[in-house]
Structure 1
């Protein structure tokens, strides 16, 4: 089993020469385009520019930023792998929406022009959504980079989901957005529609929803580097070096890794005993603790 140092070095050296795939380049381009468009829109909203001029500036900013982002993603070696390597790096791209959100919060304390507040709020939603998509794409690219080998074994997996509840929550946010828009409260309407978009995107990324037969069959795969959770449109990995121990308790398999434990119920993964046995083989002796309490 490779140690942490070897795994880290492979993340940054062994795969950096591989060109990024099309989904990542498009995601990075869309993210850079959203950042540029949001910046120029907020600046333009502070001037006396007309709404038509602001829309034209936004369109030009997004187009140029998108093209630059796609080009950079194709030229910067290892960008996808490095971006998706840690949770902190993936969160960083989403947190770039914070400055725009701060402007919205400031409007609660200091009177600001309504047009500026709406533009800043839309910018916050746009950067947060495109940043989330980029993070999921980069994470999948990172998993593919460090698991170039075929899986030792794999089991069919049903990602945890509550379709009815998810649909109700999405419908509720859309209704709230429509209701606020009809009442002329565009600020609240944008907030609700932003939450609805993020909810829909997270449902697809986490495998709770699926668009017809599109995407991969959900599986849990054992690789030399770690345990891969393959969802229809994204993949994530639990490195063996991050697992403190594994245990089987009643009808739940638990991989302990600090604040971010990974759990599988028997309804999601039927072969819990087989999974436990195979995972134990991959962990250090002191990490393979079994509990049936």
Structure 2
């Protein structure tokens, strides 16, 4: 797969575990931390990351074929989307399409496929549990004990305060979480030069030192793109809330007018009825039904 068109859109997370010259080494460390294994042969890894077409729908993705498994990793610094299982289903379907030719699927011989696993690493600032499992079946309109289709996404909170075991067992992931926190701190303190200062502090404190020294310029560019993206998402959500609020007010006003008009019609009809006017004429004049007027 060509990566020439999506380099500028990659995040530091993706670069560390998928694109960098030490990405496979970093990924194996993370894989071993997740599975309590000790794989060391980088040649076992095959990157099967999808092209940039899914950038806006599946952000910060890393995908490898290893040990008869498809491992899909995603990082989220914003609120965890409850529709992640559905998005992962779309994603893995396209991955399978890249792994097998169409004619293989119609063969009489059983086609053996790798087992998919999905992990979302959350390092946002909102309160979130250490571990959480999202299931596709949670979204089904009708619940069944044994759904015919299931997909499970494991969400892991990698904020270092949560002390998740994966941070203890994967040095790169631990240092990455410290890097993210350092970036956030400096971004708030010095919006103009915060990214540069965060990188300098991490290098001084031996946090992703080799990586950051090799790729300072690339990391700066990735941070700019990544934080612009997160800002765009936050702005979109704020705008959606404002629109929903405005629409709610407008709808409430319209309902109030309708209810007020109806009440006025009832009062007018009752007055005409007391004066002995013909019910059909009252209905014609007020817009009420004969049944409504008779009930007055």
Q: Give the TM-score band, short-chain normalised.
A: under 0.3
Q: Which has the higher contact order (CA 8 A, sep 6+)?
A: 1
User: TM-score, length-normalised on structure 2?
Assistant: 0.26
User: TM-score, length-normalised on structure 1?
Assistant: 0.26
Rg larger in structure: 2
